[in-house]
Every structure is written in C-alpha cells, then in structure tokens.
C-alpha cells in the first residue's frame, strides 16, 4: 500500500476530525481531488472527507456543525478555526435527468462510495496514516497521465453529463490524455450535455480554456461533438477548429472569451448576447467587449493617443495578449511605450474638472462636457500642458 509520509499541513490539521469519527466506530478518509493533487504535487485548495457516519451521527460528534447539504449527506464541521466538509459514503440513484441526483442512498462501505465517482484519479482515498486506498487503479492512471472513467464510462456519464466536460477540463488542467473508451463514451453521449445548467458548463469550459493544455483538450471537445451542446457553439465547428492551432494557450479568462468571439466572428453588437448566453457576469462582458473593440481597431490601423487613453492599460495589455494567442502580428512594445508616454493615463489625472470650468465662467450645460473632453484630448495629444495655468490661459483665448 502506497503511503505518504510527510503530509501537508492542510491534511495534518484535519486528522483529529477523522480520528474523532474513528474513535466513535466509523470509517473516515480523505477523498477526491485533494488526494489527486497531493500525489501530483499540485496546490491543494480544499480537502474533502468521506465517512461511514450518517449526517446525524456526524452532528452528534462535533459541537459546531452546519447543514451544508444534509440531503446529499454533507455536513460542515467547524474545528480549530477551519471548516471541513464531511460527506457520508453514498451511492447515487435515480439519475433520470442526467444531472446530479436529487436523492442519494447512504452506504457504510468506502468501495460503494468510490465506485460512483467520475475518474479513477478522483477515486483515491487516504486514511489518517497517509495510506492510499486505490481500488480502481487510479495510481497507475495518475502515473500514466490518464483520465479514465471508473468502471463503465457510459454509466458514469449517464449519472452526470457534466463529467464529460470535466474530462476535457482535466485534460487541459493536468495535461493528461483521455483514455480511449472514456473518449468513445463522450462521443456517444455528447448530446446529453444540454441537460446540464449553463453555469456549470461554463465553469468547466473556463477551467479547460485557461489550463496549460487547452488547445489539445479543445480538439477533443470538438472532435467528440461535445461542443455542439455548449451555448452558441452548435454548427460552429469549422470556425472553432482554429483553436487547437492557436499560438499559445490562453491564461486569462478574458483572453479566452475574446479569442472565442474573434474565432466565431461575432459582430460587436452581438457580444453582449453571446456572453449572456454563457451566463457570464456584466463585468466580464464589458471587459471582453473592450478587448475585442481594441483588437478590431489594431487589426486595421494604429490607434490615436486618445484611443489608447480611452482603452486604458488593462485593456491594452489584455488585447496584446489576445493578439499573441491568435498569432496576429502587432507591435506590442511600441504600443506599450506610447501608452506609457501619455501625459495622463486616466481622467482623474487631469488637473481640472467641471467645477473648475464653472468657476472660470463657463456656463453649466452640454457645452461644458464637450469643452472638458476637448481639453482632455489636447492634453493627451501634448498640445496643452496639464496645469491650471496653461488651461486657464487656453480658456482665456477661447472666450
């Protein structure tokens, strides 16, 4: 049995919780993604505990608990300043709608619990001594960098169609290959993806698209037809087929969306709808709109200083990133130099505002806004110094 000797602190801190369950006669293990990430020496963001204790039994053992998902067997235990999710060993039944089941059956055996998990690398468990329980050859698959369904892949994907997205997400994130029969099952069941909520599809899609091997994973996403069930992707395979041959894998989520929108040749006034179809936030949508706008501009001509100012540093750098991913030649160094040389980089850096103009005798109204913009443009163009004296003199000449 493989044994981990120096457990990271995040596990060590939780051991008393597992011990308390064991002392009461129950089984308790660390399970799921944290064991996979521990063995891959990846960052461990949270740990999950599985136990033979039923939720009520867990609640009786610990003074502070929260009913996180009692129906699904999950209780959160507050212990020593940390919170731990403890989920009762369970098998899920009644998957008629291809989503997470709405009722689960609690079981007392670890094996029953592990065999309904998605992939062998996610079906590992570890006890308090650091000993790894590997009932489905997950260690071997981890070693061979393989995403392989536990047992019959068709069953696993019928249980939860989101797992098909998780497969390509892990391919990208972990830089793993997809086992043949698991891939074949996705090809057969790809049409089930629309049963899953867009939010959950989006979260996996973004993890795939911003992972280190997204181009390779995207090829499988297209080849298995999984893409056909994603929002606004149906019938767009030809356009999306460029993705696997991009110059780089996107790292930023905003770059991912901008690249997709550019590949799909989505018109500027339709970006909002596309982003809403994917249930993206308004903040992400406006960020992406600005990037695509600037990208379109840069593809045609050099921007003016005022256009660079209006785009702002974040959009400029993000657009350069997108151009590099797409392999679009742009002189990024010169653009950044020009931006850095702008006399002001945001409107708040202008030494005057509307109130200053009113005090200087300008009548309030639409003309005032126009005058302020005019002054800003002149300052940015280097035609007017950003000082009260220079601007006062300029006003004197104007009136």
State the residues that interact with ligand CTP by CB under 6 A: 32-33, 48, 117-118, 122-123, 160, 162-163, 166
Reduced to 3 states (helix: H, G, I; strand: E, B; else coil), residue 65 is strand
The set of long-range contacts for 334-338, using a CB threshold of 8 Å and a minimum separation of 24, is 335/298, 335/303, 335/308, 338/305, 338/308
Q: Yes or no: say if 133 and 120 are a contact pair by the CB < 8 Å rule.
A: no
What does 289 bind: Mg ion, ligand CTP, none (CB cut-off 5 to 8 Å by kind)? Answer: none
Q: Least distance from C-beta 117 to ligand CTP, angstroms?
A: 4
Nearer to Mg ion among residue 125 and residue 308 (C-beta):
125
Cβ contacts of 237 within 8 Å, gap of 6 or more: 222, 227, 228
Pick what 155 binds: Mg ion, ligand CTP, none; C-beta below 5 to 8 Å, kind-dependent.
none
Pairing mode of beta strands 48-51, 28-31: antiparallel
Which burial class, exposed, middle or buried, applies to 24 when counting CB atoms under 10 A from its CB (0-12, 13-18, 19+)?
middle
Place of tokens 């936030």: 281
Backbone angle region of 231, left / alpha / beta, with phi > 0 → left and psi within -120 to 50 → alpha: beta
48 is in an annotated binding site: yes
Kindly write down the DSSP assignment for every residue of 170-194, as one continuous string.
HHHHHT-EEPHHHHHHHHHHGGGGG
The C-alpha atoms of residue 238 and residue 276 are separated, in whole angstroms, by 23
Sign of CA dihedral 381, 382, 384, 388: positive
How far is it, in rounded angstroms, from Cα 257 to Cα 135? 39
353 is in an annotated binding site: no
166 labeled binding residue: yes
> Residue 100 or 313: which CB sits closer to Mg ion?
100
Closest residue to Mg ion in the complex (CB) = 33
Flag whether 33 is marked binding.
yes
- Nearest-approach distance from CB 161 to Mg ion, in angstroms: 19
* Contact of residue 117 among ligand CTP, Mg ion, none (CB under 5-8 Å per partner type): ligand CTP
The reply to whether 160 sits in an annotated binding site is yes
As beta bridge partners, residue 79 has 82
Nearer to ligand CTP, 65 or 122 (CB): 122
Report the residue number, 157 or 218, with the smaller CB distance to ligand CTP.
157
**What is the smallest separation between the CB atom of 120 and Mg ion, expressed in angstroms?**
16
Q: 178 vs 316, which CB is nearer to ligand CTP?
A: 178
- Burial label, 76 (beta-carbon count in 10 A; 0-12, 13-18, 19+): middle
CB of 161 to ligand CTP, least distance (A): 9
Q: Is 163 annotated as a binding residue?
A: yes
Binding at 101: pick from Mg ion, ligand CTP, none (beta carbon under 5-8 Å per type): none
Beta bridge partners, 51, equal 28, 88
Q: Which residue number places its CB atom closest to ligand CTP? A: 33
Question: Which of Mg ion, ligand CTP, none is residue 113 near (CB under 5 to 8 Å by kind)?
Answer: none
Is 117 assigned to a binding site? Answer: yes
The site partner of 163 among ligand CTP, Mg ion, none (C-beta below 5 to 8 Å per kind) is ligand CTP
Q: Residue numbers of the site for Mg ion (CB under 5 A)? A: 33
Would you say 28 or 47 has its CB closer to Mg ion?
47
Give the residues across from 125 on adjacent strands.
31, 133
In DSSP notation, 374-389 reads HHHHHHHTTSS-SSHH
Taking the least distance from each CB to ligand CTP, the nearer of 94 and 369 is 94
- Could you tell me if 377 and 306 are in contact, meaning their C-beta atoms sit under 8 angstroms apart? yes
118 binds, among Mg ion, ligand CTP, none (CB under 5 to 8 A by kind): ligand CTP
Give the residue with the Cβ less far from ligand CTP, 31 or 298: 31
27 binds, among Mg ion, ligand CTP, none (CB under 5 to 8 A by kind): none
Q: How far is the CB of 164 from ligand CTP (least distance, A)?
A: 10
- Rounded CA-CA distance 341/380 in Å is 10
Nearer to Mg ion, 160 or 321 (CB): 160
| CB 225, min distance to Mg ion, A | 27
Shortest separation between residue 252's beta carbon and Mg ion, angstroms: 22
- Per-residue tokens: 29: 């293990």
Annotated binding site: which residue ranges?
33, 36, 46, 48, 117, 160, 163, 166, 169
Annotated binding site for Mg(2+): which residue ranges?
46, 48
Annotated binding site for ATP: which residue ranges?
33, 36, 117, 160, 163, 166, 169
Annotated binding site for CTP: which residue ranges?
33, 36, 117, 160, 163, 166, 169
């Amino acid at each position: 049995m493989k044994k981990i000797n120096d457990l990271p602190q995040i596990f060590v801190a939780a051991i008393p919780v597992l011990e308390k369950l064991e002392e009461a006669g129950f089984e308790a293990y660390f399970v799921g993604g944290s064991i996979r990430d521990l063995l891959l020496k990846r960052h461990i963001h949270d740990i999950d505990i599985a136990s033979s204790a039923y939720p009520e039994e867990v609640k009786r053992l610990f003074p502070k608990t929260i009913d996180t998902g009692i129906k699904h067997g999950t209780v959160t235990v507050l212990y020593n300043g940390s919170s731990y999710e403890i989920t009762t060993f369970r098998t899920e039944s009644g998957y008629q709608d291809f989503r997470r089941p709405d009722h689960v059956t609690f079981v007392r055996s670890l094996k029953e619990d592990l065999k309904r998990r998605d992939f062998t690398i996610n079906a590992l468990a570890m006890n308090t001594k650091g000993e790894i329980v590997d009932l489905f050859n997950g260690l071997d698959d981890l070693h061979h960098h393989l995403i392989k369904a536990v047992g019959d892949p068709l069953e696993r994907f019928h249980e939860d169609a989101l797992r098909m997205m998780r497969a390509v997400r892990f391919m990208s994130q972990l830089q793993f290959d997809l086992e043949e029969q698991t891939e074949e099952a996705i090809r057969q069941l790809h049409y089930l993806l629309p049963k899953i909520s867009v939010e959950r599809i989006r979260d996996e899609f973004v993890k795939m698209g911003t992972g280190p091997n997204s181009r390779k994973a995207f090829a499988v996403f297209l080849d298995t037809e999984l893409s056909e069930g994603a929002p606004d992707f149906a019938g767009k395979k030809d356009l999306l087929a460029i993705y696997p041959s991009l110059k780089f894998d996107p790292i930023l989520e905003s770059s991912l969306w901008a690249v997709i929108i550019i590949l799909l040749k989505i018109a500027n006034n339709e970006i909002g709808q596309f982003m809403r179809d994917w249930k993206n936030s308004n903040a992400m949508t406006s960020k992406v709109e600005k990037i695509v706008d600037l990208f379109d501009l840069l593809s045609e001509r050099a921007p003016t200083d005022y256009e660079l100012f209006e785009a702002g540093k974040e959009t400029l750098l993000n657009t350069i990133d997108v151009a590099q991913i797409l392999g679009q030649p742009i002189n990024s160094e010169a653009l950044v130099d020009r931006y850095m040389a702008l006399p002001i980089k945001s409107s708040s850096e202008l030494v005057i505002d509307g109130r200053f103009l009113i005090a200087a005798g300008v009548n309030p109204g639409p003309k005032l806004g126009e005058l302020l913009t005019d002054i800003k443009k002149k300052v940015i163009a280097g035609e007017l110094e950003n000082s009260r004296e220079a601007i006062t003199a300029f006003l004197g000449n104007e009136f």
